[in-house]
Structure 1
Amino acid sequence: MTIRSKFVWSVTVAGMALVVLLPARDVSAQWTAEKPGSDNITVLSHLPLGPRLSVSDIDIEQELDRPYAYVGRMVYGFEGDKGIDIIDLHDPTNPERVYSWRIENQDLHLGTGGMDVKHFKWNERYYVVQSLQFRQGGPDRDLGGVVLDVTGLPDPASVREVARIRSPDTPGGFHNIFIYKHSNGRVLLMTTVSGPFAHVYDLGYIVDGFMDDALVAKIPVPDSTARRGYHDFYAGYHPDSGEDRFYGGGTGGYYVYNITDLEEPELLVTLTGISGVRSGHTFTPTSDGRYVVAETEYQYAPIRIFDLEPAFEGEIKNIRSPISAWTADWRHLVHNHEVRWPYVFVSGYLDGLQVFSLMDVENPVTVGYYDTYTGPPNKVRYSQFNGAFGVDVRNADGLIVVSDMTTGFWAFEMEGFSGWNGADWGMPDISSAQKWDETLGEMPAESSGARR
């Protein structure tokens, strides 16, 4: 029987940086093949989806009467499909794959295929965007994403392709995407591209047929000429300032912009010159915008927690030191995450689903886990890239879903977590889950589907 220890890497800054390796709470003290998870995490279901290394990211709709999850399909190993699967969760204990979209001529399309995936609502219809990446030597190198109309689910015959989003000036596709409902009412698609900026598309224009006008903004990586600027990002409304804010991780570190005026993005905070960080990855704020959870994509790197308050109060312009950090196992690498204060839900690659708490933000602690992948590290490509790739949370009831690169789709519940509303924690009710039928802020809603 093999026992794997889990650790929390706690960093405290008090005059000088002090790094201490501490054991986590008993909840994560031991892992065994017979007991791959903590007692407070319950597996509701597991649905294998295909060959090893063929599953990428995941997204779940937030409305209980639309219980659908979307899973990207890629080829990161030697076999698999390139596209998207739709999972019906009317019964979370018995998930069913009800629809699959695949790029045509699979063997001719070189590269990974389906990566990030996000859904949205526009004019009373529901859509999903699957990001795509194909490389030189095959067709569609400029294709970044496909948009499907999924309003008629669970009827698979009702799903139809609406649009394909191309970026001929920055070929290579969209590695990551984020969909944000701006305070002006527009639904925006933010994408990574092969350039020192993020593209911003108006999804209303796209689904209404105005593709030529859809690219409405670019958000730069400051002082960068790198081929790929951002790796990942998040956008959210900040009630205290009335600003729409963009949080991007990429070349040099992490950046926060005011994007209330999309035509004039205003750089607010930089986080650069951080020890051990050459390029940022997943970068997510707490719902009040004070703290940010920052991931960096290399083995042994912990998730770092930063306090933005000194920058917003004008004390400093650039933040270099985290106030704390966390990892599941110091030997590995944690990946994407979802913040629902005080919890952070993590897809931890070789360490599966992980949940830690920021209740004491300077001393984050593991509060739950379940290892979705018990096999060896990746022997085909980078060793850490196997296991839990994506994670999402349904706020209405607390359902947790995970996409595992090899083992497929998982659904969980965590004891004591039956849903999330920021107001219950004295925080703004803001997360990655968009409120399609509400308009934030005081700015008048603009008709995104009408050409400007």
Structure 2
Amino acid sequence: MRVVHRSPSLVALAQIGAMLALPAIASGQSWNPLKRGSDNLEVVGHLPVGSRLTVTDMDIEQELDRPYAYVSRANIVGGGGRGVDIVDLSEPSDPEVIYSWRIENDDLHQGPGAMDVKHFKWGDRYYVAQSLQFRQGGPDADVGAVILDVTGLPDASTVREVGRIRDSDHLGGFHNIFIYKHSDGRVLLFTTVSGPYAQVYDLGRFVDGDPEGALVGRVPVPVGDSGSGGYHDMYVGYHPDTGSDRFYGGGTGGYYVYDVTDVGDPSLVMSMTGVSGVRYGHTVTPSPDGRYVVAETEYRHAPLRIFDLEPAFESGAQNVRQPISAWTADWQHLVHNHEVRWPYVFVSGYVDGLQIFNLQDPSNPITVGFYDTYLGPLNDDFNPIFNGTFGVDVRNEDGLIVVSDSSSGLWVFRMDGFNGWSGSQWGMPDVSSVQDWDQGPRGPRLIGE
């Protein structure tokens, strides 16, 4: 096994790598530990929005004339109302909360509340879906998400609640969501539930007044019995080589790739199970061409694992057990959510802040930027490493980087030389988590097109 030497804690890092049987581990700890950020990252703006552990995920719109970020607000250890804040980024150096939605009778609710948030467009109107998680013992345990119409922004008086997606068969709400403009023209919400599958909702039907007909499919977890297991997170993207829509899910047993071109009849394409150190997949994101997969599992000391699916496809295998490399910011901690803008991977690193690494050589990931948004101590009343940077998003049009920190709020960055992203810049398909709400998925775009 080759261990890439990038950390002062080399012995411990090598031991972790040997334990996980990974061919290469790159650590982001190549910097002076007393230095808060790398020289190539500029802090453009910062907005504290709440007390400790009241901020979860975030999302930004992609159109420059709609400069809005959506910040989920939770109640993990007490303090703060559950809901979503809308932040105006028209002046990135001076972000401003212009609207806040909060669940009514907040003190009666049980559970964290708002966790994941995504925006979408249907017709000529813009919406936000805020996932909600409430436990039994209080109101709204059957509510998975609230849909807000935000078309009229920046006029906050025009924001209105369209409705709430409810599921009485799966109490506890939706932990994570992903919204995808499908190749058939529909805007689909993929969501985790307390069941052995991800559910799929047609958001066009929902906002057009047909909530009963909005549930249109389920993507199963292909391991365990019918009453156990489930997904934690997912990504959905177009696969140009096959002209198909693909679902990537992390959950019980590892990670799974499904063809969801026919949402009503998904078919398993590939799995990553039996992986050393992975019993439950967490977050998973492919490269634009679907060849490489960046995968997280949620426990202390776990790195992000990088998988290459092409050899399995060529050999006809349906499972990959061995990653080709891995990356972490600090082996003592844990890296979390991530956005792929090939060859860069933008990572919310919990107590290690924003981290950015380069995956152009997937067998040798290299850290290219970082900024520590969280300078507090490890938690003493919660899992010690679950604080700091939680969510991350990138605006493709101009390269603006925005992260949410569970305790310090919203941060806005720019990275030297990164002024926007499209796949054509790198000879890749123009595929990322960003959706083209008007045209839908597109095939490969070559440089110069």
- TM class by smaller structure: over 0.9
Instruction: Give the equivalent residue in structure 2 for 1:129.
Output: 129
Is it true that 1:71 corresponds to 2:55 in the alignment?
A: no
Secondary structure of the equivalent of 2:115?
A: strand
Q: Call closer, same or farther: CA 1:422–1:441 in 2, change over 3 Å.
A: closer
Runs of 4+ in 1 over 6 A off after TM superposition: 6-11
2:26·2:328 contact (CA, 8 Å) conserved in 1? no
| Aligned pairs (5 A) from 1:10-159 | 17=21, 19=23, 24=28, 28-32=30-34, 35-159=35-159
Distance in 2 between residues matched to 1:276 and 1:22, nearest whole Å: 17
CA distance in 1, matches of 2:171, 2:280: 21
Q: What pairs with 1:287-326 in structure 2 (closer than 5 Å)?
A: 287-326=288-327
CA distance in 1, matches of 2:390, 2:284: 16
Separation (CA, whole Å) in 2 of partners of 1:349 and 1:23: 15
Q: Indicate the SS of the match to 1:313.
A: helix
Q: Is the 8 A contact 2:285 2:295 kept in 1?
A: yes
Alignment gaps of 5+ in structure 2: 1-6, 444-449
What amino acid is the match of 2:441? Answer: L
SS of 1:241's equivalent in the other structure is coil
1:273-320 CA distance string (max 9 Å, x none): 000000001100000000000000000000000001122223422100
Q: Which letter maps to 2:178?
A: F
Q: Report if the CA contact (8 A) 1:85-1:101 is conserved.
A: yes
Letter in 2 for 1:306: F
Which residue number in structure 2 is paired with residue 201 of structure 1? 201
2:167 partner letter: S
- Corresponding residue of 1:448: none
Whether the aligned pair in 2 keeps the contact of 1:112 and 1:134 (CA below 8 Å) is yes
Distance in 2, Cα, partners of 1:350 & 1:378: 10
Q: Indicate the residue corresponding to 1:282 in structure 2.
A: 283
Change (3 A) 1:194 1:17: closer
**Counterpart position of 1:217:** 217
Equivalent position amino acid for 1:97 in 2: V
Q: Tell me which amino acid in the other structure corresponds to 1:255.
A: Y
TM-score w.r.t. length of structure 1: 0.92
The one-character-per-residue Cα deviations of 1:321-342 (angstroms, maximum 9, x if unpaired) are 0000000000000000000000
Q: Is residue 2:373 matched to residue 1:395?
A: no
- Structure 1 residues 291 and 45: alpha-carbon distance in aligned structure 2, compared to 1, 3 A threshold: same
Partner deviation per Cα, 1:217-237 (whole Å, 9 max, x = no partner):
000000333545000000000
1:319–1:30 distance in 2 versus 1, CA, 3 Å: same
Q: Secondary structure at the match of 2:269?
A: strand
Q: Does 1:257 align with 2:252?
A: no
Between the aligned partners of 2:13 and 2:343, the Cα distance in structure 1 is 18
Once the two structures are TM-superposed, the CA of residue 263 in structure 1 deviates from its matched residue by: 1.3
Q: Determine the structure 1 residue equivalent to 2:232.
A: 231
Identify the residue that residue 446 of structure 1 maps to in structure 2: none
Q: How far apart in 2 are the matches of 1:205 and 1:193?
A: 20
How well do the aligned residues superpose, as a CA RMSD in angstroms? 1.9
Aligned counterpart, 1:356 = 357
Q: 1:249 to 1:63 in 2, by over 3 A?
A: same
- For the 8 Å contact 1:6–1:328, the answer to whether it is kept is no
- Return the letter of the residue paired with 1:368: G
How far apart are 1:440 and its partner, in Å?
2.8
CA distance in 1, matches of 2:90, 2:9: 34
How far apart in 1 are the matches of 2:28 and 2:108?
48
Q: Distance in 1 between matches of 2:308 and 2:400?
A: 29
Give the CA deviation at 1:428.
0.4
Secondary structure in structure 2 of the residue aligned to 1:424: helix
Change in CA separation of 1:142 and 1:6 when aligned onto 2, cut-off 3 Å:
farther
Structure 1 gaps of 5+ residues are 443-452
- The Cα shift of 1:18 comes to 5.5
Distance in 2 (CA, whole Å) between partners of 1:148 and 1:312 is: 41
Alignment check: 8 A CA contact 2:23 2:324 kept: no
Code of the aligned partner of 1:57: D
CA distance in 1, matches of 2:258, 2:205: 24
Maintained 8 Å contact 2:223/2:253: no
Alpha-carbon separation, structure 1, partners of 2:384 and 2:157: 40
Aligned CA distance change for structure 1 residues 24 and 198 (closer, same or farther; 3 Å): closer
CA contact (8 A) 2:22 2:324 kept: no
Distance 2:243 2:357 in 1: 29
- Kindly state the Cα deviation for residue 10 of structure 1 after the two structures are TM-superposed: 8.8
Residue 211 of structure 1, CA deviation:
0.3
Cα gap change, 1:212/1:18 in structure 2, threshold over 3 Å: closer, same or farther? closer
Inter-CA distance 208–302: structure 2 relative to 1 (3 Å threshold): same
Superposed CA deviations along residues 123-143 of structure 1, whole A, max 9, x for unmatched, are 110000000000010011010
Q: 1:164 to 1:23 in 2, by over 3 A?
A: closer
